[in-house]
Amino acid sequence: MLLWTTGTGALGCADPCPRLSPGGVGPVEHRPDGRYFVATSDSDGACPLDRRLDLGERVGGAWDRRVTATWPTATDPVQTGWSDVAPGEHPVVVFSHAANADTCTLHNRYSRLHSRWASQGWIVVSVAAGGSLCGSMSAENLEQRAALVELARSALPGLDRGLGDLGPFMAGHLDSGRVVFAGHSRGGGASLLAAAWAAEEDRPPLGVVALQPVDPMAWAVPLGTVAVPTLLVLAENDADVVAAHTASLDAAFGAAWGTVEVPGGIHAWTADDLPPRADADPETSADAQRQLTDEVSAQALMELDGEGTLAPWAWTDDIALWSDIPLRMRWGGRPDAVVLADFQDGAQILDCTDLEVCAVGVPFDSDDPERHDRAKWAHLVAENDGAVTILVPVDALGAERVELVVLGTPDVELVLEHGQSTALQVLPPSSASLMDPQRGVMMGADVPGGLAGDLVLRVRGDVWIDNVVAFTAPD
């Protein structure tokens, strides 16, 4: 993948700065895999031009205005020396980076991720949150970071008119009506907050892509409703943000949403080169985590710009291409979905029969319950044949598919029964290749003729289940 743009100066030396061709460019050229070539306004810090974004008079002088942009190019910058934006108007990602009290200007340290997005045709505008925005995490700081996201968005029409340092490159190429907010860590929380504010003012972005985000509500910042499709990419071994599950955020989502957890991933490995914390415990490689983050987020951007929504429930086949390790996924907001049981409490369970354990509303990780205190599952253990009866509400009658998240060992056997009918489908132990004892997989069954009564889940073995959902129409 081409991450950096290079050109040829008058003396024939390498020029790391983006350059506009003097006479325009010809038709767009694509890489062999069908994606655009890519240029960036900051070649690993080697470009001496200090790019700044015109944020207007509303921003105090102590706020940082530096920006790194990454965009699709018309030709291969390495071969041509020119970095013109590919013809046409392109959707925009406004990106908000991670930060801590010691390191605040990380806007140019996500080149791999931003290049992946730009290769799909997105212009990525990553704004530095330095100056007076640098500091320890607080409610005030998070709100200021969210305000910076909104201000950066408000500057896009000026860029499209050719204003500012990047204006000559961007003029006529930004579609400021097709904007996604994205961010990592504190920047991810700021993106969620900015999207909620924008939706309240009837100018919502297309959606949000939040990578290991800070939960604003954990810092006493009212979030309101994030009324746009939202993807959260989480890291299983995140030592910075407790985000193994985000059930506390579920109620804030007002549109389709999904969470994808990178198994064994850590907080730092979303960026290019952030050093991990001393207590970080990665169980996957940095390259594998970044690859998964690249592909999952790129899929989300494609759907947000194409369909205007997210459909993570349909990503099963794609994930098999992205990764050879199982991912834990959760999702909600599918228009035809009715949640039968999320196991936050026992109200949705009608009966437990012949089970040694029938525990509802418990964290799945008994060794570290605080880390997973937002994740409520049903834990079922049956030496022989046990059964759980799950209430099917009136609005789910007629549903033609049922799915649930399953976490267990390879010897588990599950049979889903529809009322008094025969088994709809065995959730087979042959899926052991996906059945990791610490990660759930989504499994399901079609319901010929539609649901007409309560569900019975027959169990043999030790299993955890979550998010039993019925769909009124099959995919």
Segment 426-445 mean pLDDT: 51
Segment 146-158 mean pLDDT: 90
| In the predicted structure, residue 45 carries a pLDDT above the cut 50 | yes
User: Higher pLDDT residue, 325 or 471?
Assistant: 471
User: Higher pLDDT residue, 165 or 27?
Assistant: 165
pLDDT digits (tens, 9 = 90+) for 194-228: 999 999 988 999 999 999 998 888 788 888 889 99
| In the predicted structure, residue 424 carries a pLDDT above the cut 80 | no
User: Is the Cα dihedral 317, 321, 322, 328 positive or negative?
Assistant: positive
User: Higher pLDDT residue, 172 or 5?
Assistant: 172
Segment 230-255 mean pLDDT: 76
By C-alpha distance, which of 400, 378, 401 is closest to 389?
A: 378
| In the predicted structure, residue 244 carries a pLDDT above the cut 50 | no
What pLDDT shows up at residue 343?
79
By C-alpha distance, which of 31, 70, 220, 195 is closest to 141?
A: 220
Exposed, middle or buried: residue 29 (CB in 10 Å: 0-12, 13-18, 19+)?
middle
| In the predicted structure, residue 372 carries a pLDDT above the cut 60 | no
pLDDT digits (tens, 9 = 90+) for 127-142: 888 777 777 888 988 9
pLDDT category at 40 given cuts 50, 70, 90 is confident
What pLDDT shows up at residue 310?
87
pLDDT category at 280 given cuts 50, 70, 90 is confident
Segment 54-60 mean pLDDT: 49
Q: Are 450 and 316 in contact (CB under 8 A)?
A: no
Phi, psi (deg, nearest 5) at residue 325: -120, 145
